[in-house]
Amino acid sequence: MSGFSLLSGVRVLEVAQLAPASLGGHLADLGAEVIKVESGPLGDPVRVGGNRAIGDADGPAFMHLRWNRGKKSVVLDLRSPEGKQAFLDLARSCDAVVEGMRGGYLDWLGVGYEQLRQVNPKIVLCTVSGMGTDGPYRVLGTGGPVFDAYAGIRAVSTPAEPPTEGMAGSTTPPIAMYALGAYGAMGLLAALRKASATGEGCHVEVSGIDVAAAWMPDLVDAELNRDRSIPRPTWLPDGRLPDWPRLEAYRTSDGEAILFGSHVEKFWHNFLVAVDRQDLIGVDLTTADEGAPARADLVWRALTEIFAQRTRAEWVQLFLEHGIAGGPVNSVTDMLADPHFRARENTYRVDYPGVGELEFVVSPVRVAGEKFEPALPPVVGADTEEVLRSVARYDDARIAATVHPDRNRGSVRPAD
Instruction: Give dist(CA 388, CA 70) in Å, integer.
Output: 18
Predicted pLDDT of residue 165 = 87
75, 380 contact by CB (below 8 A): yes
The answer for residues whose C-beta is within 8 angstroms of residue 63's C-beta and 6 or more apart is: 46, 49, 50
Q: Residue 3 — pLDDT band, cuts 50, 70, 90?
A: confident
11-215+350-408, CATH topology level: Rossmann fold (3.40.50)
Under the phi-then-psi rule, with left for phi > 0, alpha for psi from -120 to 50, and beta for the rest, what region is 412? beta
Asked whether residue 198 carries a pLDDT value surpassing 90, the answer given is yes
Average pLDDT over residues 363-392: 94
pTM (2 decimals)?
A: 0.91
* Dihedral sign, Cα of residue 257, residue 261, residue 262, residue 267: negative
Asked whether residue 416 carries a pLDDT value surpassing 60, the answer given is no
The answer for residues whose C-beta is within 8 angstroms of residue 141's C-beta and 6 or more apart is: 102, 130
For 385, phi then psi, to 5°, come to -65, -45
Q: What angle do CA 124, 7, 346 make, to 5 degrees?
A: 125
Instruction: Give dist(CA 16, CA 76) in Å, integer.
Output: 13
- All structural domains of the chain with their residue ranges: 11-215+350-408, 244-340
The answer for residues whose C-beta is within 8 angstroms of residue 206's C-beta and 6 or more apart is: 23, 126, 127, 128, 180, 183, 184, 187
Average pLDDT over residues 10-35: 96
Asked whether residue 407 carries a pLDDT value surpassing 90, the answer given is no
312, 338 contact by CB (below 8 A): no
Q: Residue 170 — pLDDT band, cuts 50, 70, 90?
A: confident
Give the three-class secondary structure for 249: strand
Helices (H), 9-143: 21-29, 62-67, 81-91, 105-109, 113-119
Helices vs. strands in the chain: H and E counts, helices first: 17, 11
Instruction: Say how far residue 390 (Cα) sits from the centre of its chain.
Output: 31
Asked whether residue 410 carries a pLDDT value surpassing 60, the answer given is no
For residue range 116-169, list pLDDT tens digits in order.
Answer: 999 999 999 999 999 999 999 988 888 889 999 999 989 888 988 898 888 888
1, 374 contact by CB (below 8 A): yes
For residue range 289-307, list pLDDT tens digits in order.
Answer: 999 999 999 999 999 999 9
Predicted pLDDT of residue 408 = 55
Asked whether residue 363 carries a pLDDT value surpassing 60, the answer given is yes
244-340, CATH topology level: formyl-coa transferase, domain 3 (3.30.1540)
Q: Residue 354 — pLDDT band, cuts 50, 70, 90?
A: confident
For residue range 233-258, list pLDDT tens digits in order.
Answer: 999 999 899 999 999 999 999 999 99
Q: Residue 214 — pLDDT band, cuts 50, 70, 90?
A: very high
